Amino acid sequence: MGPMGQQYRTFRAFKHTLGESLIHKARSLLICSILLSSMGCLSNDDDGFDWPDPTDFECNMAFEELKCTDYIQGTETPHHSVINPLNGEVWIVYLNGFVKSWDGEDLNWVADLSGIVNRCHMEQGLLGLDLESDFENTKTVLVSFIEEGKCEGDNQSDLILASLELNEYGLLNLDSLTVLKRISQPYRNHNGGHLLNIGDNRFLWGIGDGGSAHDPLLNGQNSSNPLGSIYYFSYENNTIAPVMEDQGGDPFVLHYGVRNPWRFDLDPNGGLWIADVGQACWEEVNLVNLTERANLGWSDREGFHKFDRNGICEITDSDDVGDYVDPLLAYAHENGNCSITGGYWMDWGPDSLRGGYLYGDFCSGSMWLIREESGTWIEHYVGASGGMIVGFGQSGEGNLVVFHWMGDSVVIS
């Protein structure tokens, strides 16, 4: 087996660089060995999936003199951050429903939504937050969460899109919460939930396929259904509206055929980078045009291949006939990898990371950067973050933050 051989990663007109040979952490391999027969680390315990015990390991950068520094330590699970333009502090979003503000020395809470957020399942919680475009005047944020509900029996907790306002004390006022959209979730997993303001109060909202395993309700290929899609809407005065011209189906659905889009970002050329968590075989990095509706294939396809509902990961030519957009890259559940965590298009942060898309893997803690060089997309191995990656963020100094499932985080500079 050669380093990063075709056995493990498949590319669309792609190259990769050496750096992950003898991949790398025996401990991470042990952690994820129990997962390879499952549906992916950010998948589903409704079909017998067993989540591993949280763990951490050494942070080790292999990419152009980058270094790791401890950022914020804790026991809750942070997964996203935004910069508050009113004071420059970093707002950190936690799965348990808290939003906390970090000024470089102290961590203070901004919101406690734990009473309205469901955490029955590992993939439920407060999933997304972003600021209104005129936040400095309106002091309004949009949030995405799974609403509180019982943990027994069928899932009765919807995915909620809502707005909230800051009060005079700089705290998000729960009494101001206005529900903007409610998405029925047939199962407790595959919720997506990421929110991204792309300017002029236009937002993207990631919505998973509804959960369980193998897309049993075939939501992914149904563009009339919000499940398994990237929603696209404008926001004004506690109301959302479709942005696109009518293309048939759900007017809010921009892209569909995704399983569980766990983060996405926009590059300066209008390319939308979507990290989509796979089932049993392949994790995907997708690159599509923001404004042209695309079908990314799930659940007819996983990676570059026809999806096998029996979990067989043989690489065979697909006989699928359909207008699918293949991923830019797909990697297998090998070398301790099990579930993609999307990151950012890096036009900020350390110089060596700029001009490419950065992402990682939940189980192995590995990180990579895809960058176009001399007309060819090339993947670089960046290093291991030292924990199980649930999300990325930006520090107040403009460096990359990596959030871990155990509650700790590191800054890459």
- C-alpha 21/C-alpha 3 separation (Å) is 4
Confidence check: pLDDT of 9 > 80? no
Closest CA to 313 of 3, 88, 10: 10
Would you state the pLDDT for residue 46? Answer: 56
Would you state the pLDDT for residue 333? Answer: 93
The CA-CA-CA angle for residues 340, 47, 249, to 5°, reads 65
- Residue 21 pLDDT grade (very low, low, confident, very high; cuts 50, 70, 90): very low
- C-alpha 178/C-alpha 162 separation (Å) is 5
**What's the one-letter identity of residue 185?**
Q
- C-alpha 183/C-alpha 134 separation (Å) is 26
- C-alpha 327/C-alpha 329 separation (Å) is 5
- Residue 117 pLDDT grade (very low, low, confident, very high; cuts 50, 70, 90): very high
Would you state the pLDDT for residue 1? Answer: 31
Q: Average pLDDT in the 322-332 region?
A: 94
Query: Strand 14-16 and strand 376-384: pairing?
Result: parallel
pLDDT in tens, 46-105: 544 445 566 667 899 998 799 999 999 999 999 999 999 999 999 999 999 999 999 999
Q: Give the whole-number percent of the chain exceeding pLDDT 70.
A: 86
Calculate the average pLDDT of the chain: 89
Would you state the pLDDT for residue 13? Answer: 52
Structural domains of the chain sorted by starting position, each given as residue range(s) with its CATH number in brackets: 9-412 (2.120.10.30)
Confidence check: pLDDT of 388 > 90? yes
Q: Average pLDDT in the 116-134 region?
A: 96
Query: DSSP letters of 170-190?
Result: S-EEEEEEEEEEEE--SSSS-
Residue 67: C-alpha distances to residues 19, 111, 239, 350, 411 (Å)? 16, 32, 44, 10, 8
- C-alpha 77/C-alpha 213 separation (Å) is 25
The strand order across the sheet containing 90-94 reads 78-83, 90-94, 98-102, 107-112
Would you state the pLDDT for residue 57? Answer: 72
**What's the one-letter identity of residue 29?**
L
pLDDT in tens, 247-271: 889 999 999 999 999 999 999 999 9
- If one counts every other C-beta atom within 10 angstroms of the C-beta of residue 132, the result is 19
Backbone angles phi, psi at 30, to 5 degrees: -65, -45
- C-alpha 212/C-alpha 196 separation (Å) is 26
Confidence check: pLDDT of 2 > 90? no
Would you state the pLDDT for residue 28? Answer: 38
Judge contact between 93 and 142, C-beta under 8 A: no
